[in-house]
Structure 1
Amino acid sequence: MKARYKTLVDEYAAAIRSGTLPAGTRLPTHRALSAEKHISLATATRVYAELESIGLVSGETGRGTFVREISLPTGHGIDQQAIATDMLDLNFNYPALPEQTELLRDALRKLTSSGDLEALLRYQPHAGRLSDREAIATHLAESGITPDAADVLIVNGAQHGLAISVMGCFKPGDVVAVDALTYPGFKTLAATFHLELEAIPVSANGPDLNVLKKLCQRRRVRAIYTMPTLHNPLGWVLNDVQRQQLATIAREYDLLMLEDAAYAYLVSHPPRPLACFAPERTIYITGFSKNVATGLRVGVVVCPSRYRASLERAIRATTWNTPSLMTSIVCGWIKEGTVSRLESLKRADAQKRQSLARELLAPLPYISHPVSYFIWLPLPEEVRAESVVRRLMDKNISISTAEPFSTSQNVPHAIRLALGSVSEVNLRQALITVRETIEYEQYR
């Protein structure tokens, strides 16, 4: 049974995060809390100490205990401003390989002798040059999707692709179904453009599609945002039956499907993209940040022809045209086979890091995929995620709580670990420290 003080900590934490207890609220004195909740004075003191340790309240001598301004920004789970340069980052993924720097030097040398170098200094077509779109369409065929080059739009990274999809296809107030745990970047877009998110319950194998169907029966749902191939953060890969079921629901209730494939490259021989099951209503979004390098802000949107004009208008409104220099480098690497080679090497790298995590986190249970760059780690009932985050920050390790990923009222006690941003040596030590910190919080 959960300790009484833990229950009170959870109740206060939920009220503070939801805004029911806004920043600056003065909480009852220790004695008043003791009398109100029928607990000992020592237990009341422990409740406030726990809330203070996870950064939700602060005690001021002679004045009392006050709700703090929560400093954890939406989409992160830690205060990004506070990350020191020597912090081991298990919060964000930017996987890199040693040879990529030399590849960039070589690509820049080749560009200097390119016959169309001057053209890269001028405005480009809003969706990119047709020759570049053809090269990217050829590369996408390796994933099982074979779009017409005219329906391939080049954007400034996958996040920009999501942004123009929202701008071009939705209106404020539109209802979008999402997984109960989903990519924080889409949550940010939904808040910015005033979309209403409806959370679909999830399991280790995918979303509950029966709940999605019932939702569509009682509400006018405009779209579903989904990551069917290597879900972030849970790592699932939907099978063909699930994809066909999702496509059938989308057709029955006229849903637009936003398919986020940012991490799909890590899965060898994956099922066909959703865009193959319902091409007329799927916008497929991917990029070259994870499979090549985060500094190459080149993304791709593949859309049904009927959406092309509105998405091109959104590109024009946000960046005018594509990043021509970066696109030229990426397309050169596509034609040379470099992108496919880097993808293969990163699959092997991710698999090695998952094996390391499996060894070092034992016996803690976690959810992941054997070739993903992240791990979802549910915490024991008595362990608070915020306490784990702050203890690890004190040890120069940054991680994320479940809160940035959660779209429902019930935020699970869990953390997400990104494995792709530190060296193997540092990752080994960081994972040991994560396990020891959780065990300390569990048994203290």
Structure 2
Amino acid sequence: MPINSYDYYPLSWYPDSTRIKRPKYEAIITLLEEDIVSGVLKANTKLPSQRELADYLDINFTTVTRAYKLGVEKGLLYTNIGSGTFVSSNAFKSITISTDNSPAASIDLGLVSSFEQCNALLVPAIQKVAGQQTITQFLNYQAPTGTAFQKEIAIRWLSTLGVQTIPERLSIVSGVQNGLAIVLSALFSYGDRIVVDFYTYSNFIELAKLFHLTLIPISADLEGMSAIELEKICQLQEVKGIFLMPSCNNPTGSILSASRKKELISIIKAYQLIVIEDDIHAFLTAPFLADYSPPIYQSLPEQTVYLYGMTKFICSGLRVAYLVFPERFKNTLNRSMFNINVKTSSLDSEIITEVLHSGLAQQLLETKKALSQEANALFNTIFDCQEVTGHHPWPYFRCLPIPKHYSREYIETYFNQLGVNVYHSDRFVVKSDYEKAFIRVALSSSSSLEVLETGLLKIKEGLVGLE
């Protein structure tokens, strides 16, 4: 029985004790999420102390401690030593990145596009596919994971990245984001823990929220995610997976070094983690960097799900990605894909296949490499930047530091008023107590180098105003 009577005892949160079922700590977090969504709990609300809540719910103190800890890991709560536990402001905000709410009048340097001025190069491939006598075969339910020829060409292309696979271990999905949703729904369950880089892909964070998964951020150095910290986390907690973007981390632009890959692989193997390897930027590393090292999939094919998307390489509007997986995951992943997608667009897949099969892929590679080099050179000139060790030399996006005390809303609104759209680093973190603040600037979204220059100069002007 509770020690105190709570008829007149003020608590900032009164969860329904009749709904506390085993495992109780997870039930508490479920109730917390519901009250956040419904508006019962507001941002920065101080929650009852662990002892108060344990007494109110008539449960063990350590259960509440565990629940609060899980809430912090999920980004729902934050703690101030000596002050208590509070509802995180991030719990209320969508950090999804899309064009839905971008001001029409702004120069968009927020969403990372694919140098869309190159899309005209795709017209011959589209016309060739459309002119095939067998075009109607791409308009039905057949070949939901890709035709035999589409997979053959995909496997040839993946081999240039160091990924060796067979048709039975490859599915063509509707873009990387779609592939991530398929993987998370198929291989992970409520509350499972996945480690990620401290700064990671914002839409992966949002997917994890949708599937009620717990992300654990790991700090990094110039070679990538800290292997020492990863092992410490695995020793202390039951971790099921790890999410990595080895060729060019979004948003930092860092590349996972060959030596760090080996260190991480050793830990991943020891703790039998499922690797989700998002290698969407490999097209700018594998063909051009002398120190390129093969993906983790090649070393751990039985533990790794590998995703290679075409939206940054070929075209944003053709939603195609290659999903490579271990045999043991095949049935589960296919079941998830069939229920989420029914099938991937055969027409989109065939256009991508034609691009890869012809000489057009190489032309696109060289063109987009040159455009990215020009955009990065312009960025370096305007902001007086040098190449950073351990980072991609010419990524599609760059980061600029800003004072930490400004909120995400203030910063993004501030630059919108200057006529440019950028994204705050707060969108790329699981926890709101981030290490440093910056804005991510997309270099591949402008229609020309002149428009990009105008946008970058607006940002430079705005940064002066923040000092």
- TM-score normalised over the length of structure 1: 0.80
Query: Cα gap change, 1:366/1:440 in structure 2, threshold over 3 Å: closer, same or farther?
Result: farther
Q: Which residue of structure 2 aligns with residue 93 of structure 1?
A: 112
The one-character-per-residue Cα deviations of 1:112-140 (angstroms, maximum 9, x if unpaired) are 33132121121123321122111101011
Deviation at 1:204, TM superposition (A): 3.8
Distance 1:187 1:146 in 2: 29
Percent identity reads: 28
Distance 1:124 1:307 in 2: 22
Q: Does 1:179 align with 2:197?
A: yes
Instruction: Select 1:427's aligned residue among 419, 435, 452.
Output: 452
Q: Which residue of structure 1 aligns with residue 187 of structure 2?
A: 169
Report which stretch shifted further, 120-129 or 130-139: 120-129
Distance 1:75 1:294 in 2: 17
Contact 1:157 1:298 in 2 (8 A): yes
Distance 2:280 2:121 in 1: 24
Distance 2:207 2:433 in 1: 21
Distance 1:427 1:112 in 2: 34
Helix, strand or coil at the partner of 1:280: coil
Instruction: Select 2:158's aligned residue among 137, 140, 163.
Output: 140
Q: Which residue of structure 2 aligns with residue 110 of structure 1?
A: 128
Contact 2:197 2:218 in 1 (8 A): yes
Query: Cα gap change, 1:308/1:378 in structure 2, threshold over 3 Å: closer, same or farther?
Result: same
Instruction: Select 2:96's aligned residue among 66, 69, 75.
Output: 75
Q: Which residue of structure 2 aligns with residue 208 of structure 1?
A: 226
Instruction: Please tell me the residue identity of whatever aligns with 1:74.
Output: I
Instruction: Please tell me the residue identity of whatever aligns with 2:244.
Output: T
Q: Which residue of structure 2 aligns with residue 54 of structure 1?
A: none
Report which stretch shifted further, 168-177 or 81-90: 81-90
Q: Which residue of structure 2 aligns with residue 29 of structure 1?
A: none
Distance 1:397 1:113 in 2: 41
Q: Which residue of structure 2 aligns with residue 413 of structure 1?
A: 437
Query: Cα gap change, 1:169/1:23 in structure 2, threshold over 3 Å: closer, same or farther?
Result: closer
Deviation at 1:70, TM superposition (A): 10
Q: Does 1:255 align with 2:273?
A: yes
Q: Which residue of structure 2 aligns with residue 128 of structure 1?
A: 146
Deviation at 1:409, TM superposition (A): 3.7
Q: Which residue of structure 1 aligns with residue 42 of structure 2?
A: 22
The one-character-per-residue Cα deviations of 1:313-359 (angstroms, maximum 9, x if unpaired) are 11100111111111111101111031232122212211211111111
Distance 1:113 1:100 in 2: 19
Distance 1:392 1:70 in 2: 24
Deviation at 1:223, TM superposition (A): 0.6
Which runs of structure 2 are paired with 1:6-405 in the superposition (5 Å)?
22=42, 73-76=94-97, 81-96=100-115, 98-104=117-123, 106-267=124-285, 268-269=288-289, 270-362=292-384, 369-380=392-403, 386-405=409-428
Instruction: Please tell me the residue identity of whatever aligns with 1:179.
Output: D
Deviation at 1:149, TM superposition (A): 2.0
Distance 2:445 2:258 in 1: 32
Distance 2:174 2:225 in 1: 29
Distance 2:338 2:267 in 1: 33
Query: Cα gap change, 1:20/1:232 in structure 2, threshold over 3 Å: closer, same or farther?
Result: farther
The runs of 5 or more residues in structure 2 that have no matched partner are 1-35, 46-88
Query: Cα gap change, 1:261/1:21 in structure 2, threshold over 3 Å: closer, same or farther?
Result: same
Q: Which residue of structure 2 aligns with residue 438 of structure 1?
A: 463
Contact 1:350 1:420 in 2 (8 A): yes
Q: Which residue of structure 1 aligns with residue 31 of structure 2?
A: none
Contact 1:135 1:331 in 2 (8 A): yes
Instruction: Please tell me the residue identity of whatever aligns with 1:430.
Output: G
Distance 1:432 1:440 in 2: 13
Report which stretch shifted further, 377-386 or 291-300: 377-386
Distance 2:224 2:295 in 1: 15
Query: Cα gap change, 1:438/1:113 in structure 2, threshold over 3 Å: closer, same or farther?
Result: closer
Query: Cα gap change, 1:280/1:425 in structure 2, threshold over 3 Å: closer, same or farther?
Result: same
Instruction: Please tell me the residue identity of whatever aligns with 1:22.
Output: K
Deviation at 1:198, TM superposition (A): 0.8
Instruction: Please tell me the residue identity of whatever aligns with 1:390.
Output: T
Distance 2:257 2:105 in 1: 41
Helix, strand or coil at the partner of 1:143: coil
Query: Cα gap change, 1:313/1:437 in structure 2, threshold over 3 Å: closer, same or farther?
Result: same
Distance 2:181 2:449 in 1: 34
Distance 1:198 1:114 in 2: 49
Aligned residues between the structures: 380
Helix, strand or coil at the partner of 1:377: strand
Distance 1:214 1:70 in 2: 27
Contact 2:107 2:420 in 1 (8 A): yes
Deviation at 1:239, TM superposition (A): 1.8
The one-character-per-residue Cα deviations of 1:47-82 (angstroms, maximum 9, x if unpaired) are xxxxxxxxxxxxxxxxxxxxx999963224xx9544
Distance 1:121 1:396 in 2: 42
Report which stretch shifted further, 364-373 or 224-233: 364-373
- TM-score normalised over the length of structure 2: 0.76
Query: Cα gap change, 1:365/1:134 in structure 2, threshold over 3 Å: closer, same or farther?
Result: closer
Distance 1:414 1:305 in 2: 41
The runs of 5 or more residues in structure 1 that have no matched partner are 1-15, 26-67
Instruction: Please tell me the residue identity of whatever aligns with 1:100.
Output: N
Deviation at 1:109, TM superposition (A): 2.5
Distance 1:292 1:314 in 2: 26
Query: Cα gap change, 1:157/1:404 in structure 2, threshold over 3 Å: closer, same or farther?
Result: same
Distance 1:224 1:238 in 2: 14
